Structure 1
Amino acid sequence: MNSQAARNRSALGKALLALALTALTAGAAAQQPTGPVEVSADEATFEQSAGTGVYRGNAELIQGKRRLNADVIRLFTENNELMRVEATG
């Protein structure tokens, strides 16, 4: 495969991922999950003062019936409440 085709395929993959995440976000807004969040990974760091947690390597987040697997999951909290989750890979 030539480099232009690889770039086009990468761009298409990113566009599809963005579309899927947009649809997921829209659906999530309509159905906010409830219950405890469980996160596991090969390595984890948490900075209480910043309210951030980073989970790397086979990271998995579970809340109810929802499951998210990624290379890296970042959690952002405020007043000990989960505000946002970012996942890559």
Structure 2
Amino acid sequence: MLTCKSTVNKAYFFGDLLNQQFKSEGRQTIGVKEQVILVLDHSAMPAVMIETGFINNPVDEEYLMSDAGRDEIVKVTVNALKQYKDKITVK
């Protein structure tokens, strides 16, 4: 069970789970960055922004535009959400 109390710690924990999932699929990552983002700043719950690639990078653009890339992004996100839920749920 997750023991961190703050929403920032929970968001970082979820971000780390996402990052691990992307790495397990062979995607390069730049890691989890903690910074103030206006749309997430006043959230009353853990919140993350997922950057799955950069459209100005031709390789990333191809990945983002492909069915396989989008399917992988969804699979990774769902897997990380399941892991997060399993770790924070009191049993």
Same topology, TM > 0.5: no
TM value normalised by structure 1: 0.29
- The higher relative CO (CA closer than 8 Å, separation ≥ 6) is in 2
> Radius of gyration: which is bigger?
1
TM value normalised by structure 2: 0.28
- Structure richer in helix, relative to its length: 2
